[in-house]
Every structure is written in structure tokens, then in C-alpha cells.
């Protein structure tokens, strides 16, 4: 039972960093949501804020690590053109049922040799590869705001709501990436 | 009751007595406004470059130059240049506003608007409209 190098990087990018991001998001959102007047004692605020700072920065760090590994390590394996032979852009994909050494995942999806798959690339991958870069930007800005204001957010409900909007925005961008990443890895796995 | 927050000049302050024991000093909103607005700028640039690369072959070539032979294509430039613009705009706005109280709501909504435009620019059914 083993992973090759590419499978291992796909696991690190999607499963490990994605799970870390989700865990940090869930904890961070719960912490932010409960930063309300009258909910905690002074001692409780001190204890809660420490975890919130860690959760927010872990979420930001996980999202940076996910987009950097995804873009610079996994994505080139997805998009490399292996199939063209002469004028035929997808000659290497003939009779393929999955991507292989002569048909990259992008070649495979665009060739439609195994059903109607082109939209997985044209919509799914094209959306995922771009919008996920919004996640670390929003997560970092939200972590900065949480660290900058700290417990002061308790007394400022509008500001807390604004931070939650940014926090959830980062999550939404990551969901697009994570969901399409999982689907694409089913339809056209990295080989 | 902690009167610091009750008399705070910030328009959205509520009274939170439990903060009294923490002896918090007030902080200017400028750095937060810088973080909000620059995040919107960064996401807007991601959308701008995504749609721009569909419209302009020369912009697409410029963005692909940033891949440094790694096979990433134009995504390398879209993400790297947008992140650089985000960080530079954040740093500039931070130093300009670090000791000031800026209208936080205004900057948040401007940032949100820029972010939504950026999200539109990265949505395939939108940028494919410009494919020739």
C-alpha cells in the first residue's frame, strides 16, 4: 500500500491541507460568532482569544500552502500537453478510459474520449484554479483583523460581522476549489 | 460599567462590561480599513487578469512569463502579480492610515464591491464571453 510522488502531493494539497483549513475555519467561525457582549467572563475572553488567534492564522497558513502546492506542484501535471501528435491535439487519448502517460488529465477531459467531459475542464478547473486564490487573501486579512482588534471585536458587532463575511468568503472560495478538486480527481486523476 | 466603549467615537460600539478587566486601549481603524480595501483590490486583480488574459494575447503572454519554466502557464502571473499588488497596496494603505480613523464601513463596502467584481471576472461563463 503506497502512494507515488504525484498521488502524495495530491493528498497533501487536497486532503491534508484542505482538512486543516476546514478544521481551522469551523473553530474560527464558532469563536468569532460567540464574541458577543455578555457571553463570556473576562477570564473566558482571554482563554477564547488565544484559540481564535491560532485558528485564524492556521486557516490562513493552510490556505496559502494549499494554493501554492496546487498551483506550482500539482497543476503542471494536470495541464501538461501530452496527447498532440501532428495535427491531432488529442491523438494520445484515443481509447483512453483515464488519463495516462500519453494523455494528461486536461487532454483527457478536453478530448471527450470517455463521455462528455470537456465542461469539467472549461468550467470546473477554470473556476477552481482562479477563485481559490481569493481564499488566502481573505483568510489573511481576516486573521489580521482578529489579531489587531482582539477582544475589542466583542464591543463592535458590525465589525465582527464584517470579519465573519471575510472569513466565510475565504471558506466559500476554498469550497469551490475543494469540491471541484475532488470531482476532477475522480473523473481525471493525476497520474 | 466600562465607559470607555460607551463613549467610543466608533459608530458601531456597544457596551461590553466584561472588557473592563482587560484594560484595552483604543486602536485606530486605519490599519483595519487598509486590510479590508487591499483584500478587495487583490481579488479584483485576480478577476481582472483572468478576464484580461482571455481578451489580450499580450497580457496572457506576460502572465505566462511568470511561470519560470514550471509549466503553470498564465495562472502563475495571474496569481503572483495579483498577490504582489495586494501586498503592496496593503503596505501603502497601512502606512498612510496607521494612525488614523478611516471610515471602516465605507472601505469594507468598497472592498466588498471590488471583491465581487473580481469573483465575476474569475467566473468561467463570464470570461468566456470574451473568447474570440
pLDDT above 90 for B22: no
The answer as to whether B50 is a domain residue is yes
pLDDT, position B10: 56
Q: Of A41, A130, A162, which has the smallest distance from its Cβ to B78's Cβ?
A: A130
- Tell me the C-alpha distance between A191 and B81, whole Å: 30
Answer whether A155 sits within 8 Å of B39, measured CB to CB.
no
Q: Which residues of chain A have pLDDT under 70?
A: none
- Tell me the C-alpha distance between B31 and B49, whole Å: 27
pLDDT, position B17: 80
The percent of residues in chain B predicted with pLDDT above 90, rounded, is: 79
What confidence tier does B7 reach under pLDDT thresholds 50, 70, 90?
very low
- How many domains does one find in chain B? 1
User: Which domain, by its residues, includes B84?
Assistant: 27-130
The answer as to whether B21 is a domain residue is no
pLDDT, position A147: 97
Q: Of B18, B22, B32, which has the smallest distance from its Cβ to A148's Cβ?
A: B32
The answer as to whether B117 is a domain residue is yes
pLDDT, position A40: 86
Mean pLDDT of B57-65: 97
Chain B neighbors of A150, CB-CB under 8 A? 24
The answer as to whether B31 is a domain residue is yes
Mean pLDDT of B14-40: 89
Q: Please give, rounded to a whole number of angstroms, the shortest distance from the CA of B86 to a CA of chain A.
A: 8
Q: Give the chain B residue nearest A143 (alpha carbons).
A: B35
Of B44 and A43, more confident: B44
The answer as to whether B19 is a domain residue is no
In B, residues 32-91, which contact A (CB 8 Å cutoff)?
32, 35-36, 38-39, 42-43, 46-47, 50, 70-73, 75-76, 78-79, 82-83, 86
Q: Give the chain A residue nearest B18 (alpha carbons).
A: A42
pLDDT above 70 for B4: no
pLDDT, position B9: 45
Q: Give the chain B residue nearest A156 (alpha carbons).
A: B13
Q: Of A141, A158, A165, which has the smallest distance from its Cβ to B12's Cβ?
A: A158
Q: Of A75, A137, A149, which has the smallest distance from its Cβ to B86's Cβ?
A: A137
Q: What is the ipTM of this complex?
A: 0.94
Is B6 part of the contact surface with chain A (CB cutoff 8 Å)?
no
Q: Of B18, B75, B108, which has the smallest distance from its Cβ to A75's Cβ?
A: B75
Helix (H, G, I), strand (E, B) or coil at B10: coil
Answer whether A137 sits within 8 Å of B83, measured CB to CB.
yes
- Tell me the C-alpha distance between B73 and A78, whole Å: 12
The answer as to whether B124 is a domain residue is yes
pLDDT, position B6: 38
Residues A25-38: tens digit of each pLDDT: 999 999 999 998 88
Q: Which sign does the torsion angle of CA A78, A84, A88, A91 carry?
A: negative
The answer as to whether B22 is a domain residue is no
Mean pLDDT of B119-125: 98
Closest CA to B34 of B81, B96, B117: B96
pLDDT, position B15: 64
pLDDT, position B16: 80
Amino acid at each position: 500500500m503506497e502512494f507515488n510522488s504525484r498521488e502524495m502531493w495530491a493528498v497533501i494539497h487536497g486532503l491534508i491541507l484542505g482538512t486543516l483549513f476546514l478544521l481551522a475555519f469551523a473553530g474560527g467561525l464558532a469563536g468569532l460568532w460567540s464574541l458577543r457582549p455578555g457571553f463570556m467572563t473576562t477570564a473566558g475572553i482571554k482563554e477564547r482569544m488565544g484559540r481564535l488567534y491560532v485558528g485564524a492564522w492556521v486557516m490562513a497558513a493552510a490556505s496559502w500552502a494549499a494554493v501554492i502546492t496546487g498551483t506550482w506542484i500539482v497543476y503542471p501535471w494536470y495541464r501538461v500537453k501530452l496527447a498532440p501528435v501532428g495535427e491531432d491535439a488529442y491523438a494520445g487519448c484515443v481509447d483512453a478510459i483515464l488519463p495516462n502517460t500519453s494523455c494528461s488529465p486536461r487532454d483527457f477531459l478536453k478530448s471527450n474520449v470517455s463521455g462528455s467531459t470537456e465542461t469539467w475542464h472549461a468550467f470546473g478547473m477554470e473556476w477552481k484554479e482562479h477563485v481559490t486564490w481569493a481564499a488566502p487573501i481573505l483568510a489573511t486579512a481576516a486573521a489580521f483583523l482578529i489579531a489587531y482588534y482582539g477582544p475589542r471585536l466583542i464591543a463592535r458587532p458590525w465589525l465582527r460581522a464584517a470579519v465573519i463575511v471575510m472569513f466565510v468568503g475565504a471558506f466559500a472560495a476554498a469550497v469551490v476549489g475543494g469540491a471541484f478538486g475532488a470531482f476532477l480527481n475522480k473523473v481525471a486523476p493525476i497520474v | 460599567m466600562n465607559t470607555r466603549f460607551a463613549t467610543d467615537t466608533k459608530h458601531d460600539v456597544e457596551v461590553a462590561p466584561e472588557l473592563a478587566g482587560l484594560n484595552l486601549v483604543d486602536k485606530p481603524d486605519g490599519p483595519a480599513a487598509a486590510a479590508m480595501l487591499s483584500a478587495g483590490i487583490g481579488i479584483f486583480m485576480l478577476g481582472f487578469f483572468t478576464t484580461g488574459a482571455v481578451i489580450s494575447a499580450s497580457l496572457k503572454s506576460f502572465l505566462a512569463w511568470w511561470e519560470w519554466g514550471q509549466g503553470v502557464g498564465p495562472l502563475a502571473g495571474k496569481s503572483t502579480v495579483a498577490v504582489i499588488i495586494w501586498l503592496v497596496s496593503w503596505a501603502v494603505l497601512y502606512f498612510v492610515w496607521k494612525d488614523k480613523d478611516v471610515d471602516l464601513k465605507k472601505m469594507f463596502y468598497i472592498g466588498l464591491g471590488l471583491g465581487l467584481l473580481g469573483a465575476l471576472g474569475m467566473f468561467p461563463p463570464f470570461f468566456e464571453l470574451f473568447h474570440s
